[in-house]
Structure 1
Amino acid sequence: MVATTLSWWAVPAGADSAPTAAEIDWRPRAELPASVRERLPVFCAGGYLPSGAGSGVSGVFGGAEGEPAPVQASGLNARYEIDRTLYLEGDVQVRQGAFEVRGRQARYSQQDGRVSVDGPLVSRGQGFLMTGDSAEYQVDSGRFDINTATFLIHAAEMRGTAGSLTRLSASEVMIEDGMLTTCGPQRNDWAVVASEINLNQAEGFGTARHVRLEVLGVPVFYWPWASFPIDDRRKTGFLYPEFGSSSAGSGGFLALPYYLNLAPHYDATLTPQYIHGRGLFNEAEGRYLSPYGQSILQLGYIGNDSAFADENPGESGERWALDASTIARFDGGWTGYGDYSVVSDEDYLTDLNRTLAINQATHLQRRGGVRYRDRNQYFETYLNDYQTISETIADVNKPYAQLPEVLYGTTRELGWLETGLESQYTLFYRDNENLTGLDRANGHRFRAVPELAVPMRTIWGFSRPSVSVDYTRYELEDYSAGDGGFDRTVPVAEWDNGLYFDRQSSLFDVPYNQTLEPRLYYAWADADADQNDIPDFDTDLQEFRFDRLFQPDRFTGGDRVGDANQLTVALTSRFNDLMTGAERARFSIGQVNYFQDREVTLFGEGASTRSRSPLAGEMVLSPLDTLEIRSSGLWDPETGETEEGRSQLVFHTEDYRYLASLGHTYSKDELEQTDIAGVVPVSDRVSLIGRWVYDSQLDRTVGSLAGIEYNNCCWSVQVVHQNYLTDDTELETRLLFQVQLKGLGGSDGSSTRIAEAIYGFEERERRRYGTP
């Protein structure tokens, strides 16, 4: 905390009462400096503006330990009994080193080193202001006792009252019959009242005995003992209860998280919770931060889920889940990582999960490895496996494990020539006991793609002709189509060309630069048409869209190499704001012209006799820094129909108070969904939150979220009702609550769900609560 220039509140002669510490430093919004008002949320009516403290003056907190400094005292009138007592009256100021107090009159006993001060009195310091009726100060020990006190901690914006307050040391204060709140003066929306409160600034936390939480003066909760932060440091203790309702949980739930600040580099959170209809459910999270990176372990366990046992006769009701992740960055460009997830049954994520970093899924990934990267090359090796949690997925559709997969790639410049290599070795495995034919195959695959290219670049364009060879070698077991050892070689040629034109103009007095960027890309690959004697370990057809126009292969993975003889013609135009450098608009359109039929298939998929692809286009508009419109799609000129389309409008105000998004997704004969979401303030303190997803093909709502949020400067509450579609096409419901008491933290429960549903909400929460 930084000390500022001292400006004391003076006590008028004959005054019977005085402002509280909070009232002295409180300023309405209109009286705050512009720089402070800009940082103040709109729902705050004002804030604290310290009058300042003299250099080294620390009031209740602060002050040097050790050898007592000389006592300095002054007043309008003084009377001194030699070697015994000093009497002062009128605008009295007593200072010893870093301690200073001002009041109406004082008496200093030289024999026992005690200073008695009658108030109203004020003591101000580094981030602390205190007032009271009377006080005593021990010169030798630094102990300071004050009666009928009020205090204000500026950094935490925490104020309070005390029947008596004792400064035990330079950083510790004891409060008897005290009250704490972060609400503004004379506004006790909530308060923590306790018989005894200890504030330890050195440790950054406070403790209290016989604590009750009062809302509008009404007690709502009691703790025999509590610990709470007074700054942004972490502290072991209970977090706020979480409560809500879920149809998957058979009703309401109540959770009481407990945070363990075990060490500066590791901590944990335990969350016991009772779910109506299911029983006691426990979740735990541990986090470890090493010099190399972070590791997180999350666990969930319920010993006897009565609802699950009733729905699944013969099951014990014991259910559990685990999610572990780690990442470590070493010197020299090396990185290690790992991610492992497992659940006891396929319904766990729907019924119970609220804290594990696992979303709805049919396969849970387990992957771990190391990677290396520098300017010219990369290397990675890892093990990868899955848990298939949906019982409806047949064995033939379960993914293969990679045990291991090794990747290596490099590029080198040899004068005007560029050389490159991409290579991959993989051992594929899955349980093949119930499989037949090619689906039974397991084994090794090695793939290497060496390339020679001649890159040519100027400020007005580029050209890059290249040739490569796609070579693959298989060594397979349980292979039904012949000898398990065979290879495939496919020559590939590419020629990528682009031009760059630009001009400068202005629109609405804003100068901008417009570009015109035509691009021609030719690809040729002489691949054998019949590759269906090769198993499908990791291959699929690529989704066709604009950014895929400039790739030679229409397949992903390594088990198919597509035949190609095609030319892509594309055009992009950009509009760049010359004042800010921002790209305000981008329009792109392109089409592939095929000079021969595509014959390579993935078991019947991927062949085509068309001579032209659909037109693929993209549009991005950012007329404002707070508004973005994106649209992409495929239009078939042969049928005159739209094949696919995706559009999204995203808007937020600079302070993220207003959020809005509108989206539409369309796939011919498969999917058409409309998505509307937003956060709209109806006043400075009340906001409405909502999202609605409607599927036109199903003619039903497939997801919704509706809620209300109230904020003022010392607390906020969110109430959210959520519907979401499960794997069995049923709508599950949740009713979630979140309460935040400024300065004491809050409960979780709704913000995470809203952030997943509404773009920009996470940034909105970060700005409001100052989280990193």
Structure 2
Amino acid sequence: MPAFRIGGCAVAVFIGLASAQASAESVPTAAEIDWRPRAQLPESARAQLPVFCEGGYLPSGSGQGVGSVVSGGDGQQAPVEASGLNARYEIDRVLYLEGQVRVRQGAFEVSGSEARYNQAESRVSVQGPLVSRGKGFLLTGENAQYNVDSGRFDINTATFLIHGPEMRGNAGSLTRLADNQVEIRDGMLTTCGPGQNDWAIVASDIHLDQAEGFGTAKHVRLEVLDVPVFYWPWASFPIDDQRKTGFLYPQFGSSSAGSGAFVSVPYYLNLAPHYDATLTPQYIHGRGLFNEVEGRYLSPLGQTVLQVGYIGDDSAYKEENPGESGERWALDASTLARFGGGWTGYGDYSVVSDEDYLSDLNRSLEINQATHLQRRGGFRYRDRHQYFETYLNDYQTISDRIADVNKPYAQLPEVLYGTTRQHGWLETGLESQYTVFYRDNDNLTGLDRANGQRLRAIPELAVPMRTLWGFSRPSVSVDYTRYELDDYTLGNGSFDRTVPVAEWDNGLYFDRQSSLFDVPYNQTLEPRLYYAWADADADQNDIPDFDTDIQTFRFDQLFQPDRFTGGDRVGDANQLTVALTSRFNDLLTGAERARFSIGQVQYFQDREVTLFGTGAGTRSRSPLAGEVVLNPLDSLEIRSSGLWDPESGETEEGRSQLVFHSEDYRYLASLGHTYSKDEIEQSDVAAVFPVSDRVSLIGRWVYDSRLDRTVGSLAGLEYNNCCWSVQAVHQNYLTDDRELESRILFQVQLKGLGGSGGSSTRIAEAIYGFDERERRRFGTP
């Protein structure tokens, strides 16, 4: 085979006559060349291929030494290499090649049936059928022109394949202008497989910029099954995951709270590598134009996010609330900064114009609506031995139905400090808190009117002893609290409280090895005894309630000396906890496959300290508290906890949940039940169930037995194939005024080009594992 190497004006010619001519066979499209049915893909590729895909792309050839019309590499700086079955060369003028022609310059390479290199014009003409392959790119066409000096490559009647986003298409003509820049005229592109034009973008001019990761197009038609369904005079679209300024895909749906249909067209602003913004104008039928703005700023310390929503004239709100202006707004700002050396700063501030803003304008699958919006910001420090935190904390109570006496106090500020030190066999510790409490109490009387300062400090001495077979930790501490109160009507507002506390925590550890179904496991038996004594004054109801509540009695609470949260009550105690835990650990994987725990408290005296009448007790034994956690498979978890009263034989409280997902997350299921005697009983069922490789059912149902009604539901359908998917979801949710609102959400996803609608984010908030399912839906690792 003749071979030529031409660099500048120097020519080296090696000629050998071939005995055969290349046959001019037709060349398949670029996508057809690299397409492989599922059965022909390597095992590693099949494992990542979604079940609804019939095949995938696999670049042929070694990929070494080949070029790309998109990435020119050293391009015109390198000599031209050419080869063919037959050749004729006119010194310093023209090189003619025929049969199995191959032309290469640096990273550029093209093969065809004939080629003509005009050295004077630095131009190579190639006749097809021709193929040009590069890293992540493949082209075919009828004929092409290549400029050796500029690197420009023009090809007619072209087909192309971009391997990264698996984007294929054809063009009347295609030009490689420079590194990573491609112009397509009279082109079509899609991410569907060869011969499957479920959707396609057709445009008169398409520009692909691989360096920036996006494409632009003029006179764009979206075609579905070769039928035009939408037209844009100009459009921009991503071809990888890089950020770019431009319109995102529209979102649309329907909501009874929004008086009907809504549509929004987000616009993304990539302002700089470290900050950006998204503007989302949306029209809500019956309400008007609603605008949302989100800004994100990333500094070397951390990220700050600002979100603002505004509607200037909400016609539905004015109709429901005569006399109101219809102007409504919301703001949420959050920031997190890591300063190094154990220091962190944070902040979160939320505010809305009215109590119905969240239910009317905040489209979310959250069943329970917020009643208080938190505003909190501060600094914290932590190292091996100590922690420090100071912050300001306040709330906006957005429900008018909450009485002033039930509104939370602000902490302006709160300062926390804690430390633990080891001194040989002795351990010392300190937990301390200083808080300034404030609430607008002008309309209140008695203790509810008080504001003021509280200082709490709990120094502790302990002797921790630990071995392989158990532990013992006796300790003594003093719970000291000092108050400086304003508007205190029961006497002097300056007083203190001192409570001595003793604890002794003991545990043993036994284990044995066995096997079950030929799987070796280790079983443990862990008995535990915990004694707590606290000599607290029975009458503490002359102290205001700034932040105190009664702890929910559960298994973890068995090993705590105080039954109150916050600092305004310290419970009296003289009690012994007896508990037992057994674990089953898989010795092959180290995973905990099962854990069983049960315990009970023996009270040696009545509990007399109350929070204004609640929290006392006279019984000698607590209910039995238990927990069961089962992980028989990596994809299945069963949790159950509860309280059972042996005296009455009744269940006081119970919570159970089963969560299952298949290995590829195509199947999702969760079952939940929550019960509290005389308070609540709810059942929760959620699932994503494929009825075929491409169609899945989506559902969630929350039922309240005491209200005898559905308090939340979700029902939808999802269709997937390898190049697009659609979700349609109908959802009911209970608002804070006990009314069921409904909405319909859609999402259409075109593989490689994003999607419209917003259902998948909302479903992920309702169904465990759905976000992971979305991540894997198109086979991304």
Contact 1:323 1:358 in 2 (8 A): no
Show the counterpart of 1:574: 583
Structural mapping, 1:477-626, within 5 Å = 477-626=486-635
Q: Closer, same or farther in 2 for the Cα pair 1:384/1:390, shift >3 Å?
A: same
Q: Answer yes or no: is the 8 Å Cα contact 1:695–1:701 preserved in 2.
A: yes
- How far apart are residue 287 of structure 1 and its match? 1.1
1:193 matched residue in structure 2: 202
Query: 1:175 aligned to 2:184?
Result: yes
Structure 1 residue aligned with 2:731: 722
1:633 and 2:642 are equivalent in the alignment: yes
More deviation in 479-488 or 90-99? 90-99
Residue 22 of structure 1 aligns to a residue whose secondary structure is helix
Deviation readout 1:384-436 (Å, 9 max, x if unpaired): 00000000001111000000000000000111000000000000000011010
Identical pairs, percent: 84
SS of the residue aligned with 1:30? helix
* SS at structure 2 position matched to 1:345: coil
- The Cα shift of 1:143 comes to 1.0
Distance in 2 separating the partners of 1:80 and 1:577: 74
> Structure 1 residue 14: deviation in Å?
5.0
Offset of 1:15 from its aligned partner?
4.4
Q: Is 646-655 or 104-113 further displaced after alignment?
A: 104-113
Question: Partners of 1:356 and 1:591 in 2: how far apart?
Answer: 39
Matched residue type, 2:362? N
Q: Do structure 1's residue 154 and structure 2's residue 163 form an aligned pair?
A: yes
* 1:226 paired residue number: 235
Return the alpha-carbon distance in structure 2 between the equivalents of residues 204 and 242 of structure 1. Answer: 23
1:754 deviation in Å?
Answer: 1.0
Question: Aligned residue for 1:378?
Answer: 387
Q: Deviations over 1:241-296 (max 9, x none)?
A: 11100000000000111111111111111111100000000111111111111111
SS of the equivalent of 1:613 reads coil
Q: 2:701·2:713 contact (CA, 8 Å) conserved in 1?
A: yes
TM-score (norm: length of structure 1) = 0.97
Corresponding residue number in structure 1 for 2:684: 675
SS at match of 2:496: strand
Q: What is the correspondence of 1:751-770 to structure 2 with a 5 Å cutoff?
A: 751-768=760-777
Q: How far apart, CA to CA, are the structure 1 residues paired with 2:74 and 2:292?
A: 45
Checking the alignment, whether the CA contact within 8 Å between 1:52 and 1:125 is kept in structure 2 is no
CA RMSD of aligned residues (A): 1.6
Indicate the residue corresponding to 2:3 in structure 1: none
Contact preservation (8 Å) 2:159, 2:169: yes
Question: In the alignment, which residue of structure 2 is the partner of 1:660?
Answer: 669
Return the alpha-carbon distance in structure 2 between the equivalents of residues 554 and 28 of structure 1: 64
Alpha-carbon distance in structure 1 between the residues aligned to 2:346 and 2:67: 48
Partners of 2:418 and 2:432 within 8 A in 1: yes
Is residue 2:679 matched to residue 1:685?
Answer: no
1:290 paired residue among 286, 299, 318: 299
- Unaligned runs of at least 5 residues, structure 1: 1-10
Task: Supply the distance in 1 between the matched residues of 2:250 and 2:576 (Cα, whole angstroms).
Answer: 62
Once the two structures are TM-superposed, the CA of residue 580 in structure 1 deviates from its matched residue by 0.7
SS in 2 for 1:129: strand
Give the 3-state SS of the residue equivalent to 1:214 in structure 2: strand
Report the equivalent of 2:323. 314
Distance across 1 between alignment mates of 2:402 and 2:442: 16
Quick one: which amino acid aligns to residue 393 of structure 1? I
Counterpart CA distance in 2 for 1:753 and 1:84 is: 67
- SS of 1:747's equivalent in the other structure is strand
Partner residue, 1:643: 652
CA contact (8 A) 1:58 1:128 kept: no
Pair 1:166 & 2:175 matched = yes
What is the CA–CA distance in structure 2 between the aligned matches of 1:555 and 1:280, rounded to whole Å?
Answer: 49
TM-score by length of 2: 0.96
Structure 1 runs of 4+ with >6 Å offset = 355-359
Q: Cα–Cα, structure 1 residues 357 and 597, in superposed 2: closer, same or farther, change >3 Å? A: closer
2:351 corresponds to which of 342, 345, 348: 342
Specify the code of the residue in structure 2 equivalent to 1:473.
Answer: R
Contact 2:307 2:332 in 1 (8 A): yes
Mapped contact 1:65–1:170 kept (Cα < 8 A): no
The 3-state SS of whatever aligns with 1:23 is helix
Query: Which residue does the alignment assign to 2:11?
Result: none
**Residue in 2 aligned with 1:473?**
482
2:429 to 420, 424, 428: 420
For structure 2, which runs of at least 5 residues remain unmatched after alignment? Answer: 1-19
Query: Distance in 1 between the 2:665 and 2:91 partners?
Result: 67
How far is the alpha carbon of 1:457 from its aligned partner? 0.5
1:448 to 454, 457, 462: 457
Amino acid at match of 1:38: A
Q: Following TM superposition, by how much is the alpha carbon of 1:58 offset from its aligned partner in structure 2, in angstroms?
A: 2.2
The 5 A counterparts of 1:101-250 are: 101-250=110-259
The offset of 1:736, in angstroms, is: 0.2
User: Is 2:756 the partner of 1:747?
Assistant: yes
Matched residue, 2:277: 268
The residue type paired with residue 278 of structure 2 is T
Structure 1: distance between partners of 2:718 and 2:566: 47
> What is the letter of the counterpart of residue 558 of structure 1?
G
**Cα 1:12–1:748 shift into 2, 3 Å:** farther
CA distance in 1, matches of 2:368, 2:417: 31
Tell whether the 8 Å contact from 2:188 to 2:202 is kept in structure 1 after alignment.
yes
Aligned to 2:64: 55
Provide the rounded CA distance (Å) in 2 between the counterparts of 1:116 and 1:406: 78
Q: Does 1:710 align with 2:719?
A: yes
Matched residue type, 1:509:
D
Task: Measure how far apart 1:359 and its partner are.
Answer: 7.4
> Aligned letter for 1:246?
S
What secondary structure, in the 3-state scheme, does the structure 2 residue paired with 1:43 have?
coil
CA contact (8 A) 2:475 2:503 kept: yes
Give the AA of the match of 2:573.
Answer: A
**Paired residue secondary structure (2:46):** helix
For 1:511-537, what per-residue CA distance to the aligned partner results, in whole angstroms no more than 9, with x for missing partners? 111111110100000000000000000
1:355, 1:519 → 2: CA distance?
44
Instruction: Give the CA deviation at 1:79.
Output: 1.9
Say whether the 8 Å CA contact 1:656–1:763 is kept in structure 2.
Answer: yes
- With over 3 angstroms needed to count, the CA separation of the structure-2 counterparts of 1:638 and 1:320, relative to structure 1, is same
List per-residue Cα deviations over 1:658-712 (Å, max 9, x = no partner).
Answer: 0011111111111111111100001111110001111111111111000010111
Partner residue, 1:458: 467
- Which of 388, 392, 412 does residue 397 from structure 2 map onto? 388
- Contact 1:409–1:422 at 8 Å: present in 2 too? yes
Q: Distance in 1 between matches of 2:329 and 2:780?
A: 31
Contact kept? 2:703, 2:712, Cα under 8 Å: yes
Tell me how many residue pairs correspond in the alignment.
762
What is the match of residue 16 of structure 2? none
CA contact (8 A) 2:451 2:487 kept: yes
Q: Aligned to 2:175, what secondary structure does the other structure show?
A: strand
CA deviation after TM superposition for structure 1 residue 454, in Å: 0.5
Give yes or no for contact 1:283–1:298 (8 Å, CA) kept in 2. yes
User: What letter matches 1:746 in structure 2?
Assistant: G
> Separation in 2 of the partners of 1:282 and 1:521?
57
Asked whether the equivalents of residues 21 and 99 of structure 2 are also in contact (C-alpha less than 8 Å), the reply is: no
- The 1-side partners of 2:424 and 2:147 are apart by 82
Could you tell me whether the CA contact under 8 Å between 1:18 and 1:120 is conserved in 2?
yes
